[in-house]
Amino acid sequence: PHIRIWESVRLTTLMVIGIGDFERAVCCLSFSKLDGGQHLVAVDEANEHVISVWDISKEKAHKVTETKSSTETVLGAEFHPSEKNTIVTCGKSHISFWTLESGALTKKMGIFDQRNMPPLIVVPFVRKSVITTSCWSQTIVGITLPADGGNRISQAILGAHEGGVFSLCVLKNGLLLSGGGKDRRIVEWDGNSYKQTGNLTEIPEQFGPVRTLSQGKGNLILVGTTRNCILQGTVYLKFNPIVQGHTDELWALYPHPTQNQFLTCGYDKHVYLWDSLSHTVVWSKEINECAHCCCFHPDGNLTVIGTQTGRWLVLDLTTREIITTHCDGSEQIECVRFSPDGNFLAVGSRDNSIYIYHVSESGSKYSRIGKCTGHSSFITHIDWSVNSQYIQSNSGDYEVLFCIWPEGADGTDINASCRSNSVKQLTATADDFGKVNLYRYPCSQPLSIVKSGVIVAQQCMSTHSIETIEKLGFELLELSSYSPNLTPSDHYLFGLRQFATDDEAQKVVHK
């Protein structure tokens, strides 16, 4: 576990902090306010939830101090907006006030009187001396911090939302926004009286409950939801999605043969068509089955999606309607591929077989004409010859090995490979070390490598299969310098990268 500080426009890594310092995942982060963010507070998920303060004002970060925070879950941490050396943390039935003096942290606990407080989630400051916190039990709590160091509850708003209050946001005009989990509502409050102003809105069900709130430019509000969406809008007008993504494991990605688009699907039972230039969703569709693989017809007018149940379906990209559905056995469909001329479809199954279909009536009719057997393990990849007469395949026991495996590597080190579409002079592989390797094709002898590099700053800790690079977020890699004859569709490699925390894997499609 470690911390990365990013440049927010170009998305480049500015600083890496704490490699080897954190026992478990980092759960809370906050920049200091009064000194322009020269310090960073972090809390990890160790048994004692260690809190640490870092000086990030220089090129290399320096840890100022650390100490044990609480054996209870810590859910929020924040620097005081007007007192340089004060930090507030909160979590399960507690709130703590920390003072940083002489390189050490001292703690003072908040007092709840007779109230049996549920977990506190966030700690924004409404005013310099007042903290607001939200709870999992429909409550917003105000805590007064007078000059004498008091730390008692001054006001509690019960029943603020149906279900937990997952997020609070203090606006520049002093108003307070609260986001509900179960009711998906965003409510506006007066920051002094804690009374509703009458302005509220409800997020559409398709985007999920509110998880976090932040003020954007002007009056715009950014809303993060539990379904991997970021919405933009105001409490007076509707909210529109600006970022969407999958909410479960993402396994399938395939680039459109002629357009600047690509398709993704996974275990959340949703299919997304993306615009690769604007990085936005063109459309999405729920298919009611966990998807594992996909591919486009060479004409680009339809796609085939393989599922976990042995079923595969054909989806029309224009109408977004399912044209036909077929089933080959009861095991997962591992890969699907159209022949270059579009007249055949090969379906690779986890039952070790490849099913061949004849395609007719503009892709609306599929007739099985053969079944290829002989593999002793599940099918992993299928590739057609240029004349659509032959296929080559790989299986899970690595029966066919090429020179993309470095000396001493085992079969699991290489997760996927993909050949360029036009002149077919290049093939790319994705490995367990977070690297994309570019080879001359065919890769029939050692030392065929042309280029090797890490796509993004961080390495991939865990990978699956891919379509044009790593089925785990998507990255873009220029190839034109290696082969000037490549078509535009060959100038990029798309990959999916999956990031995991100690609690739950986070699935994000990004550039």
Confidence of residue 326 (pLDDT cuts 50, 70, 90): very high
Which pLDDT value is given to residue 508? 31
Which positions ≥6 away from 483 have C-beta within 8 Å? 420, 423, 425, 426, 490
Q: Tokens standing for 501?
A: 């925390």
DSSP one-letter string for 191-202:
TTT--EEEEEEE
Domain boundaries, the chain: 3-175, 253-393, 401-511
Sheet holding 302-307, edge to edge: 291-296, 302-307, 311-316, 322-327
pLDDT for 226 equals: 87
The reported pLDDT for the residue numbered 417 is 76
Residue 113 has pLDDT above 80, yes or no: no
The pLDDT of residue 103 is: 86
Q: Are 493 and 436 in contact (CB under 8 A)?
A: yes
Q: What is the CATH number of domain 3-175?
A: 2.130.10.10
pLDDT higher than 50, residue 80: yes
Question: Model confidence at 294, in pLDDT bands (50, 70, 90)?
Answer: very high
Give CA–CA dist 347/356, Å, rounded: 6
Which tokens in the block code for residue 469?
């690079």
**How do residues 335-392 score in pLDDT, each as one tens digit?**
999 999 999 999 999 999 999 999 998 888 999 999 988 888 998 888 888 888 888 8
pLDDT at 509 over 60: no
CA distance 300 to 356: 20
Q: Is the pLDDT of residue 285 over 70?
A: yes
* pLDDT score recorded for residue 511: 32
> pLDDT class for 333, splitting at 50, 70, 90?
very high
The rounded mean pLDDT for the chain is 77
Give the percent of the chain with pLDDT over 90.
23
Q: What is the pLDDT of residues 172-215, one digit of tens each?
A: 888 888 887 778 888 888 877 778 888 888 888 888 888 888 88
pLDDT band at 471 (very low <50, low <70, confident <90, very high): very low
Range with the poorest average pLDDT among 16-25, 108-117, 407-416, 447-456: 447-456
Residue 403: predicted pLDDT: 63
| pLDDT band (50, 70, 90) for residue 321 | very high
The tens digit of pLDDT for each residue in 146-163 reads 444 556 666 677 777 777
- Write down the pLDDT at residue 413: 80
Cα 336-504-433 angle, rounded to 5 deg: 60
| The CATH classification of domain 253-393, taken from the options 1.10.10.10, 3.40.50.970, 2.130.10.10, 3.40.30.10 | 2.130.10.10
Q: In this predicted structure, what is the pLDDT of residue 79? A: 87
Kindly state the tokens that stand for 449: 């490598």
| Residues paired with 439 in a beta bridge | 427, 449
- Among 64-68, 299-303, 341-345, 410-414, the range scoring the smallest mean pLDDT is 410-414
CA 119 to chain centre: 26
pLDDT of residue 452: 59
Q: Is the pLDDT reported for residue 311 higher than 60? A: yes
What pTM value is reported for the model? Answer: 0.65
Q: What is the mean predicted confidence (pLDDT) over 234-263?
A: 88
- Whats the size of the chain, residue-wise? 511
Averaged pLDDT, 295-305: 93
Concatenating the DSSP letter of every residue in 201-235 gives EE--GGG-SEEEEEE-STT-EEEEETTS-EEEE-S
| Mean pLDDT along residues 467-482 | 33
Segment 61-65 shows an average pLDDT of: 90
Same fold, 3-175 and 253-393: yes
Three-class SS of residue 159? coil
Largest CA distance in the chain: 84
